[in-house]
Amino acid sequence: MKKIFSLLILFNFFINYPAYSNEIYVVLKVNNNVITNVDIDNEYRYLIALSPSLQDVDKKTVLKLAKDSIIREKIKQNELNNFYDLSIKNKFVDRIVSNFYKNMGMNNINEFKNYLSKYNLNYEDIEMKISIEAAWNDLIYKKFASSVEINELELKKRIKKTILDRKEQNSYLISEILFTADDYNKLQAKYKKIEKSILEIGFSNTANIHSVSETAKLGGKAGWISESQLNETIKKEIKNLKIGDHTKAITIPGGFLIIKLNDKKTEMINLNYDEELKKRIENEKNSQLKNFSEIYFKKIKKNSTISEI
């Protein structure tokens, strides 16, 4: 199997936690999958576990977010059943789990399991959710890797310029909100809604609710990014930000991006040409595959049956 592209930071988890009510009832159906009030309550707890600050957000808003999250997962799962046996553990799961708990500031699997237990989360069920996301990323890679177009000559020129012209470079600790809009009026309305939300509940909670990026469930946290990894448009926008501020909506392939600068540092450039080229090719490939993933998901969602009970 070819190497799965690194969209494997974030994924949906299954939670096994008692419902708030003794009554269990069906809320909706996604194709042939039934979703109950228990599923939604459990997903709510999952979201809180990933982003505890969501406890400060109106519960109805987070419950809607939980419902949308389950719908998205069930649509993916239904499609994946045509290609994979999801009962077989995906070989990438352990690596993904390791990346995940490290991104959350944990050192080992036991520490991660202890954290989950505080929210009454079942680790084995979480593994299944991770397997679904890993299989989805593998499917996207197999379907669209041949459609990725990368201008290696341009990347090589940029690397050489970076190495020759500068001895230092900036790195940025960023969070992001990625959103889409069909036309200019919808863009303006969505952007105003997001800006209002940032003012009222903060950037992290707004990312949880409004972002369609893989980073959404962790409040939009994208980690440290060196400026050599950024395209010129984004680099220009971030360069003049003060720590704690965010950009306006930046047009990118597949949508619009708002970036918050959480921290900044300057480092000596010590680039290995071959390693840097490989890294930039991988970043560009991942970016394009991410767009293909969202387009493909929208297509299968359109052909799915989602019915409220």
User: Rounded to whole angstroms, how far apart are CA atoms 209 and 194?
Assistant: 9
Query: What 3-state class would DSSP assign to 179?
Result: strand
**Which contiguous run of DSSP H or E holds residue 96?**
helix 93-103
pLDDT of residue 141: 94
Query: In Å, what is the CA distance from 185 to each residue of 18, 179, 188?
Result: 43, 14, 5
pLDDT of residue 173: 95
Spell out the residues 6+ positions from residue 137 whose beta carbon is closer than 8 angstroms to its own. 4, 5, 7, 8, 293
pLDDT of residue 241: 92
> Average pLDDT of each block of 10 consecutive residues along the chain (309 residues)?
42 40 85 91 86 90 92 94 87 83 87 89 82 91 94 87 76 93 86 95 94 88 86 87 94 88 86 84 88 90 90
pLDDT of residue 126: 78
pLDDT of residue 296: 93
pLDDT of residue 13: 36
* Domains of the chain with bracketed CATH: 26-146+295-308 (1.10.4030.10), 168-268 (3.10.50.40)
Can you read off the two tokens belonging to residue 301?
Answer: 């969602």
pLDDT of residue 166: 66
pLDDT of residue 15: 37
**Which string of b and e fits 78-107 if b means at least 16 CB within 10 Å?**
bbbeeebeeeeebebbeebbeebbeeeebe
pLDDT of residue 22: 66
Q: Is the full-model pTM beyond 0.75? A: yes
